[in-house]
Structure 1
């Protein structure tokens, strides 16, 4: 993320920070009041309502993802409310659109944070990075739709599933076990500058070292949408496969340019690098033949009862809407947060601190929507196994399963070394 800002922008952010401090003071004063049912409450909780917040992207580069997540989480809230709510309270979700703009997200957080208990959605590593100190200070349990390892280590911030480095380690393992990459080969890695790309390439280089491979790096900006130069450079280096940690537009360009030039090598991305809308573009045949995706959640078309029910419910609630990975990711986050809310209710403590404590007390959580989660150690990913899926135009969500969740080679030692460092 570019941290250079004008003096005016810095002044605006400083003002918002002061407002946030005032809001957190007010929240602290309200924390711990007992409701009529004997449950301690605080900001975002009344005797009949639990208010949650979402900082999303509805107008920026991840607008389709944001819409899917918002819809899925509202569907979850409606289902919970129809079933009597949680702790005798109805769930309400307040949504703020930041358009993937960090300055807008700071303003949106200042507006939203005084009146919510938790946030089941914050889209974007740069956004979470800008807000993480405030989130931790305010003890607002937050589930980012971002998977950078730099977001670990905060009690109030829960990265769900694997991080980008683990995903790329899994990707390298997959290339070796299933795509013919062998010791001595070179692989390319195209990645966004910033936390997302930096964390991803850390994983690919570690795994490459384990397998005796060489990584040829190509760093790009989020505004780079024509990857002809990067494909040309990687081809000249003789790479046998390419990893890409960027957005859907960059993945489509890389795969499309490679295929058109006869550079038919395996390509692997992580969840943010693919959107099923790409299957309606000229790049679709190349994507289906060359691309795989490593992800913390399974394909939407997977044969899991809870996922199949979610798909059916979503198609009924939003007729004609695409059931993409954002739907599953958003719904999964909501269900997991709901389980933590229930645990906090059982402990008679629906304060922010009480919810964080209840959440961190849970070490085996399986809601049937993917890999089991362990929330007990904030410094560690909640899961270490990534799925491998691939584009498939005829399937629900535009993907199909390839391999079940598996932990990358040497993951435990890798994580232990990072934690010790």
Structure 2
């Protein structure tokens, strides 16, 4: 779930050059098809992405790369939502259809997938990977104007009417995570705080949060930048232990988190460790790192977990188990379902307004100021320059909990988060 927080920096010089070349090429290629907007017999205005009575939607995900587990859960949850959305009548009788492309967390494949799908879809209820969303954002804002809901929480994605982050951005989430360490895990003024983070958008946006919080709370940040291909955190743990850190934030993937927590336990680095929402999957509880994760790891999340004690969560668990009986439940299910539901609500509102064009759906989303689907956090999409929420939930691994996570702090926003303004690009 790696959004746009430092996103272009995450890419190598070669990859950036490739992306820019591809983006330039598709700019000339993906021009308006000349069809323009149309009026249906029922008085519904339609345009690109509508074929007959079908609303075509695109999904750009990771099924084979660093976030494969997450991508699978997010996508299957969205397929489940679309099935139920259509069974309930869709929007004005129009039924939704998802076209899925796996980019494997590869920048060239991600841009190529967007180039392929963008001319033919109404929008994207999923685009996983902030560096990749960032690479095509000029096209989204300039010519395509199709609504994109990224599985990414980078503040650098803010400011667009068409790219809308759902939940708190990584910087705010990190501020709330450190607030938890200070109020409940003994981190205090004057201490050193380790921060292990992916180079690029996700990690560097999270680092903006830890840097802000450190200045406000009198902490010193000890940085450890890593690559998505780095899976052994031995060197990072050694550096953090030598520096004498009293707490650690990790803004990376599940593999890196498992290694960090496991190696820290073996090295007797007795400091609480907390990760951003992308830094955990319940599958980790089947690895050798499980005992250390259960004892000394927490996760900041933009919503309650899949095992939340709400009617909506319980229904989703039952429906997902029925649809995918062999697959594990995790918070990717919540993220995917929530994004699909947000897009679905925008479609329904656009239907009421008799405007199922890209412009109509974009406008409809801006009218959603109090969306809440049973996972504890109310989302407000009315201001493109602000995240839809500033709240975070603190979770802890738990083998007995549905989805492998339990709530240890309910949705809340720290005082520092209230005074923080994300840097919008």
User: What residue in structure 2 maps to residue 25 of structure 1?
Assistant: 32
Matched, 1:45 2:45: no
1:90, 1:148 → 2: CA distance? 31
Q: What SS does the aligned partner of 1:71 have?
A: helix
Paired position in structure 2 for 1:165: 171
Q: Could you tell me how far 1:16 is from its partner in structure 2?
A: 6.0
- Cα separation, 2, equivalents of 1:97 and 1:362: 30
Report deviation, 1:13: 6.0
Runs ≥4 residues deviating over 6 A = none
Aligned partner (choices 5, 24, 33) of residue 14 of structure 2: 5
User: How far off its partner does 1:323 sit?
Assistant: 1.1
Name the residue aligned to 2:420.
414
Residues in 2 aligned to 1:249 and 1:385: alpha-carbon distance in whole angstroms:
26
Instruction: Output the CA distance in 2 between the equivalents of 1:33 and 1:14.
Output: 33
1-side partners of 2:232 and 2:326: how far apart? Answer: 31
Alignment match of 1:76 (pick from 76, 81, 84): 81
Preserved contact between residue 164 and residue 199 of structure 1 (Cα < 8 Å): yes
* Residues 169 and 409 in structure 1, CA contact (< 8 A), matched pair in contact too: no
The 8 Å contact of residues 241 and 265 in structure 1, kept in 2 or not, is answered as: yes
Task: Indicate the residue corresponding to 1:351 in structure 2.
Answer: 357
Which residue of structure 2 lines up, in the alignment, with residue 366 of structure 1? 372
Residue by residue, what CA displacement relative to the aligned partner does 1:322-380 show, whole Å, maximum 9, x if unpaired?
Answer: 11111110001111111111111111111101111111122222222331111111111
Residues in 2 aligned to 1:112 and 1:298: alpha-carbon distance in whole angstroms: 32
Partner of 2:4: none
- Spell out, residue by residue over 1:52-86, the C-alpha distance to the aligned partner (whole angstroms, 9 max, x if none): 11001111111111111111101001111111111
Q: What TM-score, normalized by structure 2, do the two folds share?
A: 0.94
Instruction: State the Cα deviation string for residues 20-74 of structure 1 (Å, max 9, x = none).
Output: 4442321xx3332111111110111134111111001111111111111111101
1:91 to 89, 92, 96: 96
The alignment status of 1:299 with 2:308, answered yes or no, reads no
Q: For residues 261 and 73 of structure 1, do their structure 2 counterparts lie closer, same or farther at Cα, with a shift above 3 Å needed? A: same
Give me the whole-angstrom Cα distance separating, in 1, the residues matched to 2:242 and 2:293: 22
CA distance in 1, matches of 2:74, 2:49: 21
Alignment of 1:250 with 2:259, yes or no, is no
C-alpha contact 1:297 1:371 (8 A) present in aligned 2: yes
Matches within 5 A, 1:12-411: 14=21, 17-26=24-33, 29-137=34-142, 138-411=144-417
The structure with higher relative contact order (CA 8 Å, sep 6+) is: 2
SS of alignment partner, residue 56 of structure 2:
strand
With over 3 angstroms needed to count, the CA separation of the structure-2 counterparts of 1:128 and 1:15, relative to structure 1, is closer
Q: Deviations over 1:113-138 (max 9, x none)?
A: 11110100011111111121122230
Query: Does the 8 Å CA contact 1:35/1:46 hold for their aligned counterparts?
Result: no
Q: Distance in 2 between matches of 1:261 and 1:369?
A: 37
> In structure 2, what is the Cα distance between the partners aligned to 1:310 and 1:31?
38
CA distance in 2, matches of 1:14, 1:191: 28
CA distance in 2, matches of 1:221, 1:68: 24
CA RMSD of aligned residues (A): 1.7
Q: Displacement, 1:410?
A: 2.6
User: SS of 1:94's equivalent?
Assistant: strand
For residues 91 and 406 of structure 1, the distance between their equivalents in structure 2, rounded to whole angstroms, comes to: 34
Q: How many residues get paired?
A: 415
Give the Cα separation in 2 of the matches to 1:294 and 1:15.
35
1:3 & 1:270 partners in 2: Cα distance? 23
Measured after TM superposition, the shift of residue 6 of structure 1 is 7.6
Given the superposition, is the C-alpha separation of residues 188 and 388 from structure 1 closer, same or farther in structure 2, using an over 3 Å criterion? same
Which residues of structure 1 form unaligned runs of 5+? none
Partners of 1:120 and 1:6 lie apart in 2 by 25
User: Retained in 2: the 8 A contact 1:301–1:401?
Assistant: no
Shift of 1:408: 2.1
